[in-house]
């Protein structure tokens, strides 16, 4: 009987290999953990940017008030952008919670994988010890359950990232609409255009971050 370590039997994503920029020797749970950490860093970046939108929107609301009737539409959109910023931060907080659960799960698999390997070696040395085989079988079952939980968490996280991406699409529409409204800002048109341009840039930055998340090797992508 050939006994392979459980950690080598089930990689986190079918056919998973390290992507460019990832250590070539890394695979399975270790690679997953690295990818999760990188996703988390990207989420932290988005949270910072979302906070920036909130401040920008607040300033835009004051500017629209000063512009008066000519910037009524711009004011409404600025308010919506503040709501967008709040929704985005909540969405990112939810992603962070999911990431935390994943880190706990994947870390446990990573910790177990060394012991799986040791037990597999022991079983190769003593192939006819029934109790040892039972330990290995229990570990395999436990590992299989953990892999299933991780797969489920991975799907949930991907869905949550997709939801966040849809939210950002809405933010993009709001930013573009603010650009159009800025053109009707009479004497404040230049200032309003500048602010709406900044909104657009920031939302694009978030969109780009979320695209990077969706392309992560953790979800089977190449980034």
Partner 1 sequence: MKTTQTIFEEGTHKWTAIVRDPARPDYLIDTNEYLVQHAGQGLLLDPGGSDIFPAVFSALSAEFDPSRIVGIFASHQDPDVISSLSLWLEFNPQMKCHVSWLWSSFIPHFGGIGDTFQTLPDEGGTIALAGLQLQAVPAHYLHSSGNLNLYDRQAKILFSGDIGAALLPADRQGLFVEDFAAHIRFAEGFHRRWMGSNEAKRQWCERVSQLDIDMLCPQHGAIYQGDDVERFINWFDALQVGIMRA
Residue 198 burial (CB < 10 Å; 0-12/13-18/19+)? middle
Rounded Cα gap, residues 95 and 89, in angstroms: 10
Q: By C-beta, is 42 or 116 nearer to partner 1? A: 116
Figure out which of the listed residues 74, 84, 119, 218 binds partner 1, where binding follows CB under 8 A: 119
Rounded Cα gap, residues 78 and 162, in angstroms: 24
Minimum Å distance from CB 141 to partner 1? 13
Binding residue count for partner 1, defined by CB under 8 A: 14
Q: By C-beta, is 65 or 124 nearer to partner 1? A: 124
Rounded Cα gap, residues 121 and 145, in angstroms: 22
Per-residue contact track with partner 1, 64 to 103, x per CB under 8 A? ----------------------------------------
Q: By C-beta, is 48 or 129 nearer to partner 1? A: 129
Answer yes or no whether residue 126 interacts with partner 1 by CB under 8 A: yes
The span of 38-46, 83-91, 97-105, 129-137 binding partner 1 (CB under 8 A) equals 129-137
Render the burial of 32-71: b for 16+ CB within 10 Å, e for the rest: bbbbbebbbebbeebbebbeebbebbeebbebbeebeebb
Q: Are the CB atoms for 33 and 71 separated by under 8 Å?
A: no
Q: By C-beta, is 76 or 132 nearer to partner 1? A: 132
Rounded Cα gap, residues 222 and 71, in angstroms: 44
For residues 175, 178, 180, 181, the Cα torsion angle rounded to the nearest 10 degrees is 170
Per-residue contact track with partner 1, 196 to 215, x per CB under 8 A? --------------------
Rounded Cα gap, residues 156 and 105, in angstroms: 14
Residues 133-162 that bind partner 1 (CB under 8 A): 135, 139
Answer yes or no whether residue 115 interacts with partner 1 by CB under 8 A: yes
Answer yes or no whether residue 1 interacts with partner 1 by CB under 8 A: no
Helices and strands (H, E) in the chain, number of each type: 5, 0
The span of 8-16, 93-101, 121-129, 177-185 binding partner 1 (CB under 8 A) equals 121-129
| Residues in touch with partner 1 (CB under 8 A) | 114-115, 118-119, 121-122, 124-126, 129, 131-132, 135, 139
């Amino acid at each position: 009987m050939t006994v392979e370590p459980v950690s080598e039997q089930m990689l986190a994503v079918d056919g998973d290999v390290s992507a460019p920029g990832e250590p070539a020797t890394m695979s399975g749970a270790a690679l997953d953990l690295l990818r999760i950490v990188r996703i988390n860093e990207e989420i932290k970046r988005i949270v910072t940017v979302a906070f920036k939108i909130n401040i920008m929107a607040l300033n835009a609301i004051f500017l629209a008030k000063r512009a008066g009737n000519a910037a009524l539409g711009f004011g409404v959109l600025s308010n919506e952008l503040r709501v967008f910023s709040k929704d985005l931060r909540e969405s990112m907080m939810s992603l962070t919670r999911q990431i935390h659960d994943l880190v706990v799960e994947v870390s446990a698999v990573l910790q177990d994988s060394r012991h799986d390997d040791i037990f597999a070696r022991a079983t190769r040395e003593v192939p006819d010890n029934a109790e040892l085989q039972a330990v290995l079988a229990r570990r395999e079952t436990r590992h299989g359950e953990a892999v299933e939980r991780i797969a489920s968490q991975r799907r949930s996280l991907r869905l949550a990232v997709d939801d966040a991406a849809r939210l950002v699409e809405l933010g993009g529409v709001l930013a573009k609409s603010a650009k159009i409204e800025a053109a009707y800002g009479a004497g404040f048109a230049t200032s309003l255009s500048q602010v709406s341009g900044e909104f657009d840039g920031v939302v694009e930055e978030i969109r780009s971050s979320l695209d990077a998340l969706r392309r992560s090797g953790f979800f089977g992508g190449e980034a």
